Amino acid sequence: MAKGGGMGNMMKQVQQMQAKMEKMQAELEEMEIEASSGGGMVTVVVNGKQDVISIKLDPEVVDKDDVEMLQDLIVAAINQAKEKAGEIQAENMSQITGGMNIPGMNLPFQENDKLMFKSANSVERLANRLARLPGIGRKSANRLAFHILKLSKEDAIELADTIREVKEKVGFCSECNNISETDPCQICSDPKRSRSIICVVEETPDAAAIDKAESFNGMFHILGGKLSPLDGIGPDDLKISELLQRIHNGDVTEIILATNPNVEGEATALYLAGLLRPLGLKISRIARGLPVGSDLEYADSATLSRALEGRQEF
Binding residues for Zn ion, rule: CB under 5 A, are 173, 175-176, 178, 184-185, 188
- Could you tell me the CA-to-CA distances from 302 to 38, 112, 265, 288 in Å, in that order? 44, 68, 21, 13
Pairing type for strands 197-201 and 114-117 reads unpaired
Distance CA 107, CA 91 (A): 9
Compute the least distance from the CB of residue 146 to Zn ion, in Å. Answer: 40
CA 289-278-216 angle, 5° bins: 35
- Among 52, 177, 205, 36, which residue's Cα sits nearest to residue 116? 36
Nearer to Zn ion by C-beta: 33 or 188? 188
Compute the least distance from the CB of residue 138 to Zn ion, in Å. Answer: 38
Compute the least distance from the CB of residue 162 to Zn ion, in Å. Answer: 23
Nearer to Zn ion by C-beta: 131 or 176? 176
- Among 38, 72, 32, 37, which residue's Cα sits nearest to residue 52? 32
Nearer to Zn ion by C-beta: 184 or 205? 184
Nearer to Zn ion by C-beta: 72 or 175? 175
Which residue type does 45 have? V
Nearer to Zn ion by C-beta: 184 or 289? 184
Residue 263 dihedral angles phi and psi, to the nearest 5°:
-55, -50
Compute the least distance from the CB of residue 205 to Zn ion, in Å. Answer: 15
Q: Which neighbouring-strand residues pair with 45? A: 34, 54
- Among 186, 296, 276, which residue's Cα sits nearest to residue 235? 276
Compute the least distance from the CB of residue 183 to Zn ion, in Å. Answer: 8
Nearer to Zn ion by C-beta: 107 or 208? 208
Distance CA 41, CA 291 (A): 39
Nearer to Zn ion by C-beta: 72 or 203? 203
Note whether 142 and 127 are within 8 A (CB).
yes
Compute the least distance from the CB of residue 172 to Zn ion, in Å. Answer: 8
Distance CA 299, CA 288 (A): 12
Compute the least distance from the CB of residue 310 to Zn ion, in Å. Answer: 26
